[in-house]
Amino acid sequence: MRINWDYIKLTFLLVAVVALYGFADQRNSKRQVSKISVEFVGEENLYLTEDAVNKLLIQKCGPLENRAKEQLVLNTIEEVILSNDMVKNAQVYLTVNGELISEIIQRKPIGRVEGVSKFYLDDTGGRMPLSRYHSARVPIITGKITGKSLEDAYVILNYINDDDFLRKNIIGIHIEEEGNYQLKFRMENFVVNLGGVENLNVKFKNFMAFYTKATKDKTLEEYATVSLEFNNQVVCTKI
């Protein structure tokens, strides 16, 4: 009987590869976590610190450094990090060197509510607690705080953040009542009566036309209120 040496060689090679893979996998699973790293993605202002994340992980998962890699459940670690109210998203992974890395995206505040309760509105419209580590420079929301008025404030803030001039100059939204909102500017004495959140594009277009002309005429300091409530009009009240 003729022996097929090519077949035997191939079989031997496959067995050797499987054995080496099993050995490497077993050896790798017994390796310990060599280092814990926390990386914040995309946001310079830290509403949460690396130390705070590490303390949270120790409280919920126990010490992770020097623990065998096979004992780690990465999904569980991600869920622990996501339980922090400052975190929008988290991804946890292990490197070949045994480093446990947590990449964290923080929530982004766009307005700060100053009422009976104090908190941020984030870029999804959700409530975000204040941080002990950093105070965001965002417009302050005051007045009659309700669920509907906060929804409207979120719409206004989104519009403001899409415009470079408005984002740099509007420092406050005051809620007179639902459907009646005032805007406060950084460098001007007047307040802007916005009315409701309908037709914001038209209202702000009219306001910018007024602001440009008044700046050119050097008359901005003469006004106490600038009203955008009326259809396609800017109505001003002098001091």
pLDDT, one tens digit for every residue, the chain (239 residues): 455 555 555 565 665 444 444 444 454 445 788 888 999 998 777 899 999 999 999 999 888 888 888 888 899 999 999 999 999 999 999 988 889 999 999 999 999 999 889 999 999 999 999 999 999 999 999 999 999 999 999 999 999 999 999 999 999 999 998 889 999 998 888 899 999 999 999 999 999 999 999 999 999 889 999 999 887 888 888 88
Task: With respect to residue 3, please indicate whether it lies within any of the assigned structural domains.
Answer: no
How many structural domains are present in the chain?
Answer: 2
Instruction: Looking at the structure, tell me whether residues 133 and 233 fall in a common domain.
Output: yes
pLDDT at 16: 47
> Do 18 and 82 touch, CB atoms closer than 8 A?
no
| Residue 228 lies inside a defined structural domain of this protein | yes
* Residue at which a domain ends, from 57, 85, 106: 106
Contact 201, 185 (CB under 8 A): no
- Domain limits at 92? 35-106
Model pLDDT, residue 30: 56
Last residue of some domain: 91, 106, 121?
A: 106
Residue 45's nearest CA partner among 140, 120, 153 is 120
CATH number for the domain including 102? 3.10.20.310
Clarify whether residues 148 and 229 are in a common domain: yes
- Verify that 206 and 231 share a domain, yes or no: yes
pLDDT of residue 7: 56
For residues 120 and 217, membership in a common domain is answered with yes
**In a domain? residue 119:** yes
Is residue 153 within 8 A of residue 166, CB to CB? The reply is no
Contact yes or no for 227/236 (Cβ under 8 A): yes
* Same domain, residue pair 39 and 151: no
* Separation CA 34–CA 146 (nearest Å): 49
With respect to residue 9, please indicate whether it lies within any of the assigned structural domains. no
